Amino acid sequence: MTRVHDDLQARARKRYRALRRKQRDPRFRKVMGRFVAEGLLATTIEGIPLHEKPVPLAEALWAGTVEPRIMELLPAVLVKKPRLLRLPKELPDDVAAVMYAIRHGKQAPSFRGVAPDRYLPWVTEVGRKGKSPSVLKSFRFKHEDVLRLSRLRESLPASSDTEVVRMALELLEGTSPA
């Protein structure tokens, strides 16, 4: 019984030392410092310097293997505050897929072992609080409809065609029998 207990303690100490070593890695300290400086995360790890410059995505993905909260936060940061990261020209496929799903309101896939119910709540917490990212939609209008939108934009307190469409939808929704 004591041998099993001692073995468990030895393995736990070994894992703890490995975790502490990874937490001292400059990549981890830079990423954690960036998210702490932005007010997205808090930490009790001593000696994490605040970091104001964008951090490489590869380093953030690595740091997410050390601190799971970073991996939960990354999809929201990629969509709502990408300026916190230095993105490569070609995004990894799983990163691109999760960003596409969030932006287009599609079924969200798991992200490097993190379930959507763990990372999606962050989307409304990053950037403008309580706001989800706009969903991109495109429509084909006849020329007369485009002119009508322009006239309405000038006559209504709307600064864009999108605002005119939103106002019309709200008006229709308010007067519809449903």
pLDDT per residue as tens digits for the range 66-79: 899 999 999 999 99
- pLDDT, average across residues 130-145: 79
- For tokens 């960036």, the residue is 34
Residue that has been written with the tokens 């300290």 in this structure: 29
Report the pLDDT value the prediction gives residue 95, as an integer from 0 to 100: 92
116: nearest Cα among 74, 55, 60: 74
If one compares 135 and 153, the residue with the highest pLDDT of the two is 153
11, 49, 74, 117, 163 from 102: Cα distances, Å = 39, 31, 12, 12, 22
Alpha helices of 38-175 — where are they, by DSSP H?
57-66, 68-80, 93-104, 116-123, 143-155, 161-175
Tell me the percentage of the chain whose pLDDT exceeds 90: 32
CA 18 to chain centre: 28
pLDDT category of residue 1 using cuts at 50, 70 and 90: low
Specify the 3-state DSSP secondary structure of 169: helix
DSSP state at residue 110: P
Q: Please report where in the chains the tokens 């989307």 appear, as a residue.
A: 123
Say what angle helices 68-80 and 57-66 make with each other, to 10 degrees.
150
Is the distance from CB of 65 to CB of 71 less than 8 angstroms? yes
- Whether the predicted pLDDT of 178 surpasses 60: no
> How far is residue 102's CA from residue 60's CA, in Å, rounded to a whole number?
19
Higher pLDDT, residue 15 or 131: 15
Q: Residue 60: pLDDT above 60?
A: yes
Percent of the chain with pLDDT over 70: 94
* More confident of the two residues 51 and 5: 51
> DSSP character for 107?
P
Model confidence at 94, pLDDT cuts 50, 70, 90, reads very high
User: Could you tell me if 50 and 33 are in contact, meaning their C-beta atoms sit under 8 angstroms apart?
Assistant: yes
Owner of token pair 């209008």: 141
Q: Quick one: pLDDT at residue 70?
A: 92
